[in-house]
């Protein structure tokens, strides 16, 4: 396949800026860029963050509901305004998404990326639909972001493993330089080095050709996961990325969870069929995504994958 002709962003460690780690008393803004947020789950998440000696600040429209589309947390303009204001507030140290769902692609073009760059680096956390924002923060602001649990996410609120891995990444990132979840298997053996990137498969496929998505995964360690998709749809997304040349030159692939998809043997056969031919190391069940105990993966940090050992070793901590 022929790679896209658009220039590929630099993939050296220096190309993305690591935000500062959090300290006790840090102010963290909670935003809802995608779907509506259940108030009781948000309340539980806020209590958990306060237990970490953080000061959570809820953005004005987090509990909104769009009047016409009940899958959105308020209007596109209001969701964008919340994120913009939180990022540009100098007293805020981190921006945590409340949940995923759908909606980022409707609001991301409303953000003022010049102002976001001028405000400087901050910690940003989320996954699922938030994949589109991970891409945007990488390409438009040059920032390392955290693919991790969200403040009102069920799996986060009920799982100590997810909580502790995110807490360690935020406060003591040097303690999680090596990520080695139990139960991993090498679909394709070997070692690979590259810049971590990726997220939800369907979002990466739909970001193709959009101004905030990167033109290629070349030189990267690509993390893929998804939820609630039929096998033929997963096939479609992977085939689209392959046909577009987006996977040309990828260094290695980490596969996370495939919750609420077909039985895993069927999904595994598809992943093998579509990805093994790339000839790069591929490791499955790497512990991130829509699952209990989901681990936090820093996108934008250079790392080494050992598919046989099931380990990912970061060149440097996720946060400064």
Question: What is the spatial distance between Cα 278 and Cα 71, in angstroms, rounded to a whole number?
Answer: 37
Q: Catalytic site residue 251?
A: no
Question: What is the spatial distance between Cα 153 and Cα 26, in angstroms, rounded to a whole number?
Answer: 21
Q: Which residue out of 11, 128, 216, 251 is catalytically annotated?
A: 128
Question: What is the spatial distance between Cα 190 and Cα 196, in angstroms, rounded to a whole number?
Answer: 17
Residue 69 to residues 34, 64, 65, 202, Cα–Cα distance (Å) = 12, 12, 8, 21
For 116, how many CA atoms within 13 A lie in the half-sphere containing its CB? Answer: 27
List Cβ neighbours of 113 (8 Å cut-off, separation of 6 or more).
136, 140, 141
CA neighbor of 36 nearest in space, from 127, 130, 101: 101
Q: Which residues pair with 97 in a beta bridge?
A: 31
Q: Which residue out of 61, 134, 165, 290 is catalytically annotated?
A: 290
Q: Which residue out of 225, 229, 284, 285 is catalytically annotated?
A: 225
DSSP 99: -
Helix (H, G, I), strand (E, B) or coil at 45: helix
For residues 282 and 188, is the Cβ–Cβ distance under 8 A? yes
CA neighbor of 200 nearest in space, from 80, 47, 97, 303: 97
CA 70 to chain centre: 24
Question: What is the spatial distance between Cα 213 and Cα 207, in angstroms, rounded to a whole number?
Answer: 5
Q: Catalytic site residue 128?
A: yes
Q: Catalytic site residue 67?
A: no
User: What stretch of H or E contains 47?
Assistant: helix 39-51
Residue 212 to residues 81, 107, 127, 136, 260, Cα–Cα distance (Å) = 18, 12, 16, 5, 28
Give catalytic residue positions: 128, 225, 290
């Amino acid at each position: 396949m022929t790679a896209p002709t658009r220039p590929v962003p630099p993939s050296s460690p220096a190309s993305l800026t690591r935000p500062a780690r959090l300290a006790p008393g840090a102010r963290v803004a909670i935003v809802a860029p995608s779907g509506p947020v259940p108030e009781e789950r948000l309340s539980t998440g806020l209590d958990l963050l306060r237990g970490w000696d953080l000061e959570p600040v809820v953005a004005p429209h987090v509990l909104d509901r769009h009047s016409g589309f009940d899958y959105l947390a308020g209007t596109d303009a209001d969701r964008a305004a919340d994120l913009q204001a939180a990022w540009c507030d100098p007293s805020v140290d981190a921006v945590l998404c409340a949940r995923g769902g759908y909606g980022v692609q409707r609001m991301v073009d409303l953000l003022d990326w010049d102002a976001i760059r001028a405000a400087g680096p901050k910690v940003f956390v989320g996954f699922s639909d938030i994949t589109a924002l991970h891409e945007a923060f990488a390409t438009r602001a040059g920032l390392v972001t955290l693919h991790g649990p969200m403040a009102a996410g069920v799996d986060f609120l009920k799982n100590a493993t997810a909580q502790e891995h995110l807490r360690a990444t935020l406060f003591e990132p040097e303690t999680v330089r090596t990520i080695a979840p139990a139960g991993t298997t090498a679909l394709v053996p070997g070692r690979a080095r590259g810049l971590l990137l990726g997220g939800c498969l369907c979002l990466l496929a739909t970001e193709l050709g959009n101004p905030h998505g990167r033109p290629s995964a070349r030189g990267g360690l690509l993390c893929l996961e998804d939820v609630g998709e039929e096998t033929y749809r997963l096939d479609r997304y992977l085939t689209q990325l392959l046909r577009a040349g987006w996977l040309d030159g990828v260094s290695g692939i980490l596969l996370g969870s495939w919750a609420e998809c077909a039985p895993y043997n069927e999904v595994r056969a598809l992943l093998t069929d579509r990805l093994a031919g790339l000839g790069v190391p591929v490791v499955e069940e790497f512990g991130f995504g829509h699952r209990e105990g989901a681990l936090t993966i820093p996108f934008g940090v250079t790392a080494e994958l050992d598919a046989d050992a099931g380990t990912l070793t970061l060149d440097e901590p996720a946060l400064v």
